[in-house]
Amino acid sequence: MADNKSKETGQTNTIAQDSSEIFDTYKKGILKITEELAKFQPQYVQSISKLQEEYLELTKQFIDKVFAAQRNWVGGNVTSTSTTIPSWTYTPYAEQFRKQSNEITAQSLSVFNTSNQLALNALTAARENMKLYGKAIDAIIEYNNNVANAWSSFFTSSQRQQYFR
């Protein structure tokens, strides 16, 4: 019986060692993939940032060109068959238009600032949630390890009791 016990212990150790090597191999592979993905992340951020900068620059150029064309068109007092575009400099509503335009611009900037702050707060909250998620995963793994150890102890002790009967 002692010979069977040492044979089983040897098989158990071999199985445990093989399992450990398999887990280590998978772990190394997954960590390597994660590290490679992490290398590209800064490149993605930089590329997206450049795209946004180019888009904003193109938008500014478009706005400049559109308003230059309108100014040119209106400034020339272009006449069609029955319409003459009046000069905006002398309209009675020019001052009111400037005030409303400035007010709309100020309110828009306030909305943009508020929405940007909310977005930044959401990203900060997401980072904090990731930290909490990590802590929760640690707690779950610790709990599972404790359960596995408890079951292992129970089965080991019950197997010992069977051998000593």
3-32 tens-digit pLDDT? 555 555 556 567 667 778 888 999 999 999
The pLDDT score that the predictor gives to residue 12 is 59
Q: In whole angstroms, give the CA distance from residue 85 to residue 74.
A: 6
The pLDDT score that the predictor gives to residue 143 is 97
- pLDDT of residue 1 exceeding 50, the answer is no
- pLDDT-derived band at 97 (thresholds 50, 70, 90) equals confident
| Domain segments of the chain as ranges | 1-91, 92-165
Q: How far apart are the first and last CA of the chain?
A: 13
- pLDDT-derived band at 2 (thresholds 50, 70, 90) equals very low
The pLDDT score that the predictor gives to residue 84 is 55
DSSP state of 123: H
58-96: b (≥16 Cβ within 10 Å) or e: eeeeeeeeeeeeeeeeeeeeeeeeeeeeeeeeeeeeeee
The pLDDT score that the predictor gives to residue 96 is 85
CB 88 within 8 A of CB 74: yes
